[in-house]
Amino acid sequence: MTRPEYDTATFYLSNWSKHILRECERRRITVYDLKRKRATRNEVESVITSKNPTFLILNGHGGEKSIYGDENEPIIDLSNVKLLNKKLIYTIACKAAKKLGRIAVKNDAKCFIGYEEDFVFIINLRKVSKPLKDEFARPFFVSTNKIPISLIKGNSAKESVKRAVNEFRKWIIRVRNYSIPEADWILRGLLWDITFLKLLGNEKAKI
């Protein structure tokens, strides 16, 4: 798992990933947690090569052909995409499923789950220092976290994405009943994310 924390977006991603880490701890699953300054290309390549993990959770910013780590350093791109061979990959990096994910699957990655466009979420500026207390961000991260947590519990890629989609839908229904000014933005963001969540490769893949 990569967890850069150099700006607001990556700080939120890193903190909400603690729920995934707790699930791994409960199930006694070994996690190589590349946090903050360890979320570099060298560290990622070293861990994948030496430890050969079956499941990669790549948090950070992204583009159509790259996933970024600390300080926007490309940690996975077309030059080292073969590192993903035989792996099951989940990433929240924006647009990474558009091209990188498809190329990874063509190069024999087991499965790639991510977003074809930007992953968006709304934040409460008064809660920026405590992301896990941010009620505006909660619907987005509770929903997308269903994917890695479900995979960790032994479910297939298809079932895990289905659980996330169902969670997004539950939040969409709830948010429609919110009476706060931000409700419309939260609703738009949830609808956007559910639209561009993609499962590429083997739908039956498991960790």
What percent of the chain has pLDDT above 90? 100
**177: CB partners within 8 A, 6+ apart:** none
pLDDT range class, residue 50, cuts 50, 70, 90: very high
Q: How far is CA 24 from CA 28, 53, 88, 124, 147, in A?
A: 6, 14, 16, 29, 13
pTM of whole model > 0.75?
yes
Calculate the CA dihedral of residues 120, 121, 122, 126 and round it to 10 degrees. -130
The predicted structure's pLDDT at residue 186: 97
User: pLDDT of 89-142, one tens digit each?
Assistant: 999 999 999 999 999 999 999 999 999 999 999 999 999 999 999 999 999 999
CA distance 65 to 98: 8
Residue 23 confidence (pLDDT): 97
Residue 165 banded pLDDT, cuts 50, 70, 90: very high
pLDDT in tens, 77-89: 999 999 999 999 9
Average pLDDT, the chain: 97
